[in-house]
A = this chain, B = another copy of it.
Amino acid sequence: MTDRPDLLVIADAADPELDALASRAQVRRLHPASNGLAAALAEADAVVVWNCVVPGFEASFDEALAATGGLPRLRWVHTTSAGPDRLLFPGLLGHPATLTCSRGVLDVDMAEYVLTCVLALLKDVPATVRLQGASRWRHRRTRSLAGTRGLVVGAGSIGTATGRLLDAMGVSVDGVVREPRPAAAPFGALHAPGDLASIVGEYDVVVVTAPLTTATEGLVSAEVIAAMKPSAVFVNVGRGPVVDEEALLTAVKRGRLSGVALDVFTVEPLPADSPWWDEPRAIVSPHLAGDSEDFLLRLQGLLLEQLQRFTAGEELLHVVDAEHGYATS
């Protein structure tokens, strides 16, 4: 039981939505590039970290571990991401603090972003924007989403929300999950990851919402990509390394896929010399799928709930299962 825990928020922006945390904690916010990060970690009972700013976090964490003999005060680390992959480094994995993630609060926005990408590809929106830039009126035929078949790779919290929206659009949706269970709406069938290459050719829309774990790294392999329909559209909002990006680029360039939308990459930010930027059949976005204004309000709600539980000594929500590499509930 902690009355008003010392909470360190590591973020590069001061989001007013997070001001509310001050009602339940002594909040200190630091920029991830701050020199004082290791010292601040040593004085924190709990840490909230934005996944996108994690790179400096591991080094500071290790420095603080060494300086304090194991960060004895720290009891909780929360990532604002749904996928905790970047926090699964040895120093934190070996520390007794509870690691939690933002499962659930990104679902609606991620699902909406996936649908945005699928529709933008089918309705040729990137070409529309480019033609507009050239003041050119050029009529084209586009494609319908209703009546197609969709596959969501990673039928967890975000994947299920995505499946629901696709289903509502008249798409017949199946899923891929680590441990296949009986299919329930919105999924007509749930497949095992090992079956991906043999089934993926049946789908018009293939979406990756899977977290990055030892089991998903490279899951969408060159073999899987080669088995996709040439008319298929592919969207990745999970994690870059789940997909063989080089094989995907080759497939897109050769017209063996009609379009792709990538919000995540193995290297982020995507380097300025990446060939993806110039690919007209690709929509390249900067890891923004879940980041709506509403997400911050939902995150605020989750963090207030977590702080109440933390202060009362109750079990936290969305604890990361180190074996799976994500939160299973």
Contact = CB atoms under 8 A, between A and B. Distances in A.
Given A125-B116, A168-B168, A169-B165, A142 B269 contact: no
B288 A142 contact: yes
A125 B125 contact: yes
Nearest to A111: B146
Interface string A136-169: 1111111111110000000000000000010011
Given A108-B144, A277-B132, A288 B119 contact: no
A142 B287 contact: no
Contacts of A133: 130, 277
A120 B168 CA distance: 18
A49 B53 CA distance: 58
A169 B135 contact: no
A222 B133 CA distance: 27
A96 interface: no
A128 B263 CA distance: 11
Q: What range describes how many residues of A lie at the interface?
A: 35 or more
A128 B285 contact: yes
Most chain B beta-carbon neighbours within 10 Å: one of A140, A142, A169, A293: A142
Contacts of A140: 286, 288, 291
Contacts of A294: 143-144, 146-147
A52 to B, nearest CB: 7
A130 B273 CA distance: 16
Contacts of A214: none
**A contact face: mostly helix, strand, loop, or mixed:** mixed
A4 interface: no
A126 interface: yes
A286 B112 contact: no
A137 B283 contact: no
B284 A132 contact: yes
B146 A112 contact: yes
Contacts of A112: 119, 122-123, 144-146, 169
Given A141-B293, A143-B293, A291-B139, A129 B125 contact: yes
Nearest to A131: B286
Contacts of A269: 137
Contacts of A142: 109, 113, 288, 291-293
Interface string A2-37: 000000000000000000000000000000000000
Given A112-B123, A115-B119, A116-B123, A128 B284 contact: yes
9 contacts: A116-B122, A132-B285, A137-B269, A137-B286, A138-B286, A139-B288, A141-B291, A142-B288, A142-B291
Interface of A: 52, 108-109, 112-113, 115-116, 119-120, 122-123, 125-126, 128-133, 135-147, 165, 168-170, 268-270, 272-274, 277-278, 282-288, 291-296
